[in-house]
Amino acid sequence: MLLLLSGCGSRPELPARSAAVPVGADLSGRWELQGLNEETNSRLVEPDQGIYVPPAGSIRRDQMPERSARTKRSKGPLVHLFIENGRALKISQTAHGIFVSFDRSVVEEYTFGENRVVSLGPIEAQRVSGWDGLRYIVETMDDRGTVLTETWSLKDAGSELVREIKILDGEKELYSSRQVFDRT
């Protein structure tokens, strides 16, 4: 009985994603955010939930304090800390993953088909990434089960890059953003 009860309290695991790169799926290039104001492409669903996404270039990981004031005991989701933003992106794609440079200051590396634990100071989260057709999807789940989903895809014959960001707490949407970048 104790074993049964201990299984009920565990958080779900993220499903694995495909490592196979579909034919024609190449996100490589230099990209510039459309519009003058990034906030015009963002929508904060419930601001009182404590979700804050810093503007592009305002905070870099190397400028963050050694230990965050927010710990695993704090209220609210921590997965938002894993969102990077930028007006200018450079994406390099290899046979096994992509590197995304945000405003030439922060580089994120994603391995196709990855399933690993990522950390930011004391905060740890499960991350999976991979392909769903021509869309590249990165999902990051914090210790409470809140999920950050980033979807990257091309449109208009590869002249535009679309990045969609969502944070879900179960079925409840806490944050959503759609950013469109032009190839430069």
Stretch 149-160: mean pLDDT:
97
pLDDT value for 63: 44
Percentage of the chain lying above the pLDDT 70 cut? 72
Q: How far apart are CA 36 and CA 140, in angstroms?
A: 29
Q: How far apart are CA 144 and CA 120, in angstroms?
A: 16
- pTM reported for the whole predicted model: 0.76
Residue 6 above 80 pLDDT? no
CATH of segment(s) 14-183 = 2.40.128.20
Question: Structure tokens of 139?
Answer: 């999902």
pLDDT value for 157: 94
Residue pair 152/136 in contact (Cβ under 8 Å)? The answer is yes
Query: What rounded mean pLDDT belongs to the chain?
Result: 82
Confidence of residue 9 (pLDDT cuts 50, 70, 90): low
- DSSP characters over 138-149: EEEE-TT--EEE
Stretch 5-13: mean pLDDT:
60
More confident residue, 136 or 2: 136
Residue 93 above 70 pLDDT? yes
> Length of the chain, please?
184
Write the Ramachandran bin of 7: left for phi over 0, alpha for psi from -120 to 50, otherwise beta.
alpha
